[in-house]
Structure 1
Amino acid sequence: MTSDGLDILHSLPTLWFLITASIALSIFALVFSLRQQRRAHRSAQHSTGDEMVPDTSSKLREYEKNGHSADATLINWSPETLRKILASELPGAQVIVVSNREPYIHNLKDDGDVELVVPASGLVSALEPITRACAGTWIAYGGGSADRQTVDQNDRMEVPPDRPSYTLRRVWLSEEEQQGYYLGFANEGLWPLCHIAFTRPIFRASDWKAYEAVNRKFADTVVAEARNERPIVLVQDYHFALLPRMIRERLPEAIVITFWHIPWPNSEVFSICPWREQILDGLLGSSIIGFHTQFHCNNFTESVDRFLESRIEREDAAISYGGQTSLVHAYPISIEWPPTQLENLPSVVECRDHIRARFGLDEDVKLCVGVERLDYTKGILDRFEALEELFTHHPEWIGRVVVLQIAAPSRGTLPAYQQLYEDCLQRAEDLNQRFGSEGYKPVLMVAEHHTQEQVYEIYRAADVCLVTSLHDGMNLVAKEFVAARDDEQGVLLLSTFAGAARELLEALIVNPYDATMMSDMLLQAITMSPDEQRRRMASLRDIVRDNNVYRWAGSMLLDAARLRKRGAIDRATANVDYQPPSASGNIVSIVDRKRAS
């Protein structure tokens, strides 16, 4: 090594200390400012008699125990918080969101008018407030029948329509591309593979080729939309496993954050996929890879360790592969707080009266609701089994309990979904014939799309919300139900296999594969006293409020800021004796080079 190289090596500790101190002071200043605002807000609440924010010390300890920054718990996360992070930690950064589903769909009606549809999607409901707050660009597949008519010559439009705050950039796919990439590889292959719901994954070479081609098309669009070489790109979900690497090849200084919204299976299950190495390589093009739970992070890391030549930095939650370091972190997704859907809804009492009148329910009937896409991972048939168990062992409840199942049609051209739809209709009919009577049906199966406001009205009218997923990433229905209940009433019955069960501990946690256990918990839910409901719901609402979607996004953006500043360390210390680092490399790579020297 040259004497210049030795001088630089010897100066690394000092340089690292100075830059780390700069980062720490910057973040401390931001947190201090936000704390001051929160104190002022609390003082204002106190002076007006509003409810004070409860003590968060127990949550703080739990958050620190899980390896996160304690400061994140003390911040009042809001759109303004995100804007402050961008301004102070990522000045001038362009935020680009990439997802398959778009936040606004335009369809042609029979009379020729254009109808605006806002999909009731967990991903959309989580990301849309973030993109609004960041004034970013959202790239998505334009699948609406009038989508082409509503964009400009560059396939862009400003949204939301009533208060434009960000850009929607639509990507056009052929019927063949949509069939192979979306219905084929993503939803007949990766979806059942990752959910382990005992539906066999189907992998076809033609679907894989379409998946590659569509990922490449989206990469082209990201590059075209990037205003400079250093955007922050938020890649969403299993539709785009190859996209991070494709972006990295053309924008090496970009910060690419990939969030995988569904579970990641163990390495043995993942080995089923014929293109497992390519998928892992594609994802490791990311600067940060996020999952809902640490369990899914561990499964991903073990898959990489098994199938790729890599170095796992477990203490730093990082993977070094191909000269680049990717962080692998858990970021539990959440919802906007307070939900904008509540702004236009009447009181809980009025919602309850309206829903009961709509479905012809007596006042003393306990209303249990399930709200989801019609999907075999959601455990719809299993909750029907639990209802049958309840009626069999507690016949006094026949005529006094109704399950309202809202199941939005989904992927109806796929055989597994067609079969599920028929099975649900048949099972509901069987229960209605066996336990129903004139004017009473124990199961109301509504296989229709509902707007978010309609869904929130149903939440507010329910006595019990049934979330019985066989396997789920997070499941935002559970959090939406909690957010809807400002009366602090209602009971959440929640599957242990949903990521939300790690946070919402005051729910009644169930194993959806155990019908007897579920029926027992259902009985506990419908007989729970108002005082216990209030105690549980107040705690659940504290958790959802403090861990809202702005915290989810803000945590990722803060990590992105740290990576960008650590990249500056790499550039400052680079010389002929060192390999040029990637823009997303972190301090792990610097320490490793010191050890090697």
Structure 2
Amino acid sequence: MRKTIIVSNRLPVKISEANGDYTLTPSEGGLATGLGSIYREGNNIWVGWPGQEITDQKEQEKVTKQLRKMNLVPVYLTQDEINNFYEGFSNETLWPVFHYMSVYAHYEQHYWDAYFQVNKKFRDIILKIAEPGDIIWIHDYQLLLLPGMIRAELPEISIGFFQHIPFPSFELFRLIPWRAEILEGMLGADLMGFHTFDDTRHFLDAVGRILPVNTSANIVSYNDRAIVVETFPMGIDFDKYATLGNYPEVQEQIRDLEQNFDKNQLILSIDRLDYSKGILQRLQAFELLLQLHPEYIGSAVLYMIVVPSRDTVPQYKELRDEIDKYVGNINARFRTLTWHPVQYFYRAFPLETLSALYNFAGICLVTPMRDGMNLVSKEYVASRNNNDGVLILSEMAGASKELIDAIIVNPNNIGAITRAIVDALDMPLAEQQRRMKQMRTVVAKFNVHHWVKLFMTRLQEVNEMQQNMLARRVNQETAVSIRHQYFQAKKRIIFLDYDGTLVGFQPNIDMASPDQDLYQLLKELAAIPGNDLVMISGRNHETLGEWFGHLKLDLIAEHGAWQKTRTGEWYQLPGLTDEWKKELLPIMELATDRTPGSFIEEKSYSLVWHYRKVESGLGELRANELMTTLRYYTAEKGLQVLPGDKVIEVKNIEINKGKAALSWLNHKKYDFIMAMGDDVTDEDIFKAVPATAITVKVGSQVSAAQYYLRSYHEVRHLLRTLRNREGQGA
């Protein structure tokens, strides 16, 4: 029976041990809540580390049995693995780089080795339980290699991946020595999810610059698969936080807060100890408030909770000491006999206490330096059942893209945070309610259950799209069908493009000359009785004649401007002019002067601007600019502007590969027609030839062609099988 396998670094459970007995308590985290509806159903499973080192085999078996009753499967890690995989690579390499704090990053080979091995350990557990038809949903930065590892073993399985922390810009991501391996691992997924559009854009940028892949909009073509990259802002369990305030124990704590802070305005700050959270800057802003606005002395209180985290790590310990010192200084300077400006707690609080604080505090201050989403902001909004209260939110938190009615601040701008606190303290109730109502509507609608449903639905759509694409690929079955039609026919014609179809692309266009293997293949195919081979290329006619003039091939050069039968001479299409070049050549030269690595190729009746050697990103930018300019100048000149693979070509509109192919088909009757090409110009052939023809696009699935192949290697392999009836390869 089909099942869903959720995979994360930690299982949604807390394990406590006493006298050899283990007690398991379900976790109340946001992810556990959202995915609870999935992993608790039927035979679905959640795979992860139980959060505690258990080395004894018998103890592991005992805990595994207990976990299995909760639909959980453990991955046991040794202390070394925890130190190097989790504390090491995950938190000392990926975490700082992904949070734009690369100065804290450590690039240690043994960290990477442990990260690789633990991802493999997760893979091995999943391979034991995964079956055809299952869905695997992998979560977060600790398991970036896992999608690719699973894909290598289970190529047909459905894999989703969601990143819960930011994805950095290319300039930061490329600092990681193992950047290519990380991206290749992530691209094992079918659907990639991020909290914000910025993260999505950064990932696509990194993939396009680091790996030899094609990206189009939000789709990455990699290893013959289309991977979709999308934005899915994560929500919270809105109803849970909205109703918690009515619980008797929460009500009691609210009354205690009212008694303790009766005449004070409470500014709430809740964070885990981390340098990405902007805690010190928050304290600086509050100190500035008390300096510039002494009227708030005695009335405004910063209620700061910092949850302990990794405080044995030097920079975290240092941060904790700095926070302690700063809080002490503020309290020493400004406190009175009856008022403490900063109420500081370095510990975790139960959910009921947090709910009481969310309900009581008139202001919530959430100003991380960088955060994936930040659910504290959403929890505060969900708790405000009276639609009052003010949220001050960092523009660097993913939530700021949704909660636009918060007071949005730059967390590095201390003065701006101070002014935001003043605005919040002075904000009229009507304005508070207007803002809060809008934010509560957003948080209620885009809750965690909506997030889960949206992601799973999209994953299913992506899998269906991939299946539709795969159906068109030339597989063993379709190859047999093509060979059958080919050998049944008496008169055959095969149209072959050159660059990208029979040979790979080269940085220098003159280096892409035919090799001996290709010459031999074409020679053998052309020698078969009944075969007509037509090379139909955008190459200039002199080059094409020099390369293939000695073979029994018909040649069509420069997209049809020049044509030659195997026994005849070159002749050009009548009525063509190149007068237009005088006007357009300077425009293209200007683009070339501004774009290092680009160059212009001049043909008889066309101009081609090449940018294959241009820095990724710059080439595309200049190409778009040039396309816009050229289209303006060619609008009424009978010219066509064609974007290709790292090229832009301007040619006479009469020159068309489709028209050229039809002229060949009009001379003879053929009972087998095949056309193969990789470029936009080859689409004209695919559309022009009869519906009974076999058309094959190379390197892309988006085409008017019936079938596609991934590379020129596959084209040559298919052509080799047409040399004899046995269909043997080389």
Band of TM-score, shorter chain:
0.7 to 0.9
1:99 aligns with 2:8: yes
Cα distance, 1:393–1:348 mapped onto 2, change above 3 Å: farther
Task: Return the letter of the residue paired with 1:430.
Answer: N
Deviations 1:339-383 (A, max 9, x none): 2683572498654322355xxx33010111111211111111111
* Cα deviation code 1:40-82 (max 9, x no counterpart): xxxxxxxxxxxxxxxxxxxxxxxxxxxxxxxxxxxxxxxxxxx
Question: Which of 485, 489, 508 is the matching residue for 2:388?
Answer: 489
* Map of 2:558 onto structure 1: none
| 2:232 matches 1:331 | yes
Match of 1:559 among 455, 458, 469: 458
Q: CA shift at 1:285, angstroms?
A: 0.7
Name 2:46's counterpart in structure 1: 138
Match of 2:636 in 1: none
Unaligned runs of 5+ in 2: 480-698, 710-730
Match of 1:319?
220
**What does residue 531 of structure 1 align with?**
430
Which structure 2 residues correspond to residues 332-351 of structure 1 after superposition, within 5 A?
A: 332-339=233-240, 342-343=243-244, 345-346=247-248, 350-351=252-253
1:589 and 1:454, CA in 2 relative to 1: closer, same or farther beyond 3 A? farther
TM-score (norm 1): 0.76
Q: In 2, Cα distance between the equivalents of 1:453 and 1:147?
A: 35
C-alpha contact (below 8 Å) 2:331/2:340 kept by paired residues = yes
Q: Does 1:397 align with 2:306?
A: no
Of 556-565 and 543-552, deviating more is 556-565
Contact 2:253 2:353 in 1 (8 A): no
In the other structure, the counterpart of 1:217 is: 121
Structure (1 or 2) with the greater helix fraction: 1
Whole-Å separation in 2 of the counterparts to 1:460 and 1:377:
26
1:289 aligns with 2:197: no
Code of the residue aligned with 1:449 in structure 2: it is A
Query: Cα gap change, 1:571/1:300 in structure 2, threshold over 3 Å: closer, same or farther?
Result: closer
Q: 1:558 to 1:353 in 2, by over 3 A?
A: same
Q: Distance in 1 between matches of 2:242 and 2:31?
A: 16
Say which SS state the counterpart of residue 239 (structure 1) adopts. helix
The CA distance in 1 between the partners of 2:38 and 2:392, in whole Å, is: 29
C-alpha distance in 1 between matches for 2:322 and 2:106: 21
Instruction: Tell me the distance in 1 between the aligned counterparts of 2:261 and 2:456.
Output: 49
CA distance, structure 2, for counterparts of residue 417 and residue 370 of structure 1? 18
**Structure 1 residue 413 displacement after superposition:** 2.4
Q: Over residues 485-527 of structure 1, what are the superposed CA-to-partner deviations in whole Å (9 max), with x where a residue is unaligned?
A: 1121211110010010000011111111111111111011122
Q: Deviations over 1:100-139 (max 9, x none)?
A: 1221111135x88755555564444444455346873111
Distance 1:205 1:543, change over 3 A: same
Alpha-carbon distance, 1:94 to partner: 1.2
Asked whether the 8 Å contact 1:120–1:450 carries over to 2, the reply is no
- The CA distance in 1 between the partners of 2:250 and 2:425, in whole Å, is 18
Deviation at 1:538, TM superposition (A): 1.2
Is the contact between residue 348 and residue 487 of structure 1 (CA under 8 Å) also seen in structure 2?
no
Tell me which amino acid in the other structure corresponds to 2:202.
Answer: N
Give, as a single letter, the amino acid of the residue that structure 1 aligns with 2:99.
H
CA distance in 2, matches of 1:225, 1:398: 61
CA separation in 1, counterparts of 2:51 and 2:443?
A: 32
Correspondence for 2:326:
427
Decide whether the 8 Å contact of 2:241 with 2:383 is kept in 1: no
Alignment partners' CA distance in 1, 2:42 and 2:701 = 31
Partner amino acid for 1:170? P
How much does 1:182 deviate?
A: 0.5
Q: Does 1:174 align with 2:78?
A: yes
Which of the numbers 370, 388, 407 marks the counterpart of 1:471?
370
**Structure with bigger RCO (C-alpha 8 Å, 6+ apart):** 1
Question: Greater shift after overlay, 208-217 or 456-465?
Answer: 456-465
Of 586, 591, 595, which residue of structure 1 is paired with 2:702? 591
Compared CA separation, residues 224 and 548, structure 1 to 2 (3 A): same
Q: Which residue identity lines up with residue 237 of structure 2 in the other structure?
A: E
1:450 is aligned to 349
Is the contact between residue 382 and residue 515 of structure 1 (CA under 8 Å) also seen in structure 2?
A: yes
Which segment drifts farther, 112-121 or 186-195? 112-121
Q: 1 CA distance for matches of 2:701 and 2:318?
A: 54
C-alpha distance in structure 2 between counterparts of 1:528 and 1:457, whole Å: 22
Report the Cα distance in structure 2 between the residues aligned to 1:129 and 1:294, rounded to whole angstroms: 27
**Structure number with higher strand proportion:** 2
Distance 1:551 1:220 in 2: 31
Cα deviation 1:302-323 (Å, max 9, x = unaligned) = 1111111000111xx1101122
Once the two structures are TM-superposed, the CA of residue 479 in structure 1 deviates from its matched residue by: 0.7
After superposition, the Cα gap between the structure-2 partners of 1:210 and 1:154, relative to the gap in structure 1 and judged at 3 Å, is same
Deviations 1:556-590 (A, max 9, x none): 111221133234434544544779xxxxxxxx963
- The 10-residue stretch of structure 1 (404-413 or 113-122) with the greater mean CA deviation from structure 2: 113-122
Measured in 1, the distance between the counterparts of 2:273 and 2:28 equals 13
Give the superposed CA RMSD. Answer: 2.7
For residues 224 and 355 of structure 1, what CA distance do their matches in structure 2 show?
A: 52
User: By how many angstroms is 1:455 displaced?
Assistant: 1.9
Percent identity between matched residues is 33
Confirm or deny: 8 A CA contact 1:349 1:461 kept in the other structure.
no
How many angstroms does 1:145 deviate by? 6.8
CA distance in 1, matches of 2:132, 2:21: 41
- Residue 153 of structure 1 and its aligned partner are, at CA, apart by 5.2
Tell me which of 188, 197, 208 is aligned to 2:112: 208
